[in-house]
A and B are shown apart, each in its own frame.
Chain A
Amino acid sequence: MRAVHKRYLREFIPAMSAYVLLILLYGVLMPRMEGMPWRVVLALLPLLPVAMVIRAIVRVIRDQDELERRIDLEAIAIAAMTTGFGYFSFGFLLNADIGLEIAPASIAIWVMPCLFASFGVAKLLVARRYRSHA
């Protein structure tokens, strides 16, 4: 593994671990928390490690080699368009009042996971274009 990817894992794994811990804390404490300021703090706390994950991703994209960067940037463009198009379509369906009843919080919370998941799929597809078994 190249140094740039080792550094990425060194940054990504602790940040994701902190995120999982804070989400667990959120699940346990939020139902018992009554004061508004503390509910806001508890709700926003898991976003700190997410910001660190984003930083790690930006740094690895910036510092990896030119083909790796190209693959990632193409995949991010496809993922952004796919997620945007998906949510846009979903918005039209919700607006059509066809019996979809989903909490607004659930819709908003799933934006980022959808973006990451579509990035993963797009990256596999884009990388295949540059791969050869020769």
Chain B
Amino acid sequence: MHNHVRELRGEQSWSQADLAERLDVSRQTVNAIETGKYDPSLPLAFRIAKLFGRPIESIFIPGEE
């Protein structure tokens, strides 16, 4: 799965640590999501979407399996 989390975080001028704090996760988790090493659960994906005020499908794009 691809995502636009890094770009959206950049638009807010947040560091990974800032985003991690807002989502109540570790910086390691934010980094793993941004680099595509880890796909978040649905509840966490919804929290990310809510934080950026965007629909979930505009942030997370299914990749080719």
Contacts and interface: CB of A to CB of B under 8 A. Distances in A.
Interface of A: 2, 64-68, 70, 127, 129-132, 134
Interface of B: 24-26, 28-29, 31-32, 34-35, 37-38, 40-41, 44
5 contacts: A65-B25, A66-B40, A66-B44, A67-B38, A134-B31
Given A68-B26, A131-B31, 14 more contacts: A64-B26, A65-B26, A66-B29, A66-B44, A67-B25, A67-B28, A67-B29, A67-B32, A68-B28, A68-B29, A130-B32, A130-B38, A131-B32, A134-B31
A68 B25 CA distance: 9
Nearest to A132: B35
B50 to A, nearest CB: 17
A64 to B, nearest CB: 8
A65 B32 contact: no
Of listed A64, A67, A68, residue having the most chain B CB within 10 A = A67
A5 to B, nearest CB: 9
Contacts of B41: 66
B9 to A, nearest CB: 13
Contacts of A65: 24-26, 29
Contacts of A130: 28, 32, 37-38
A68 B41 CA distance: 13
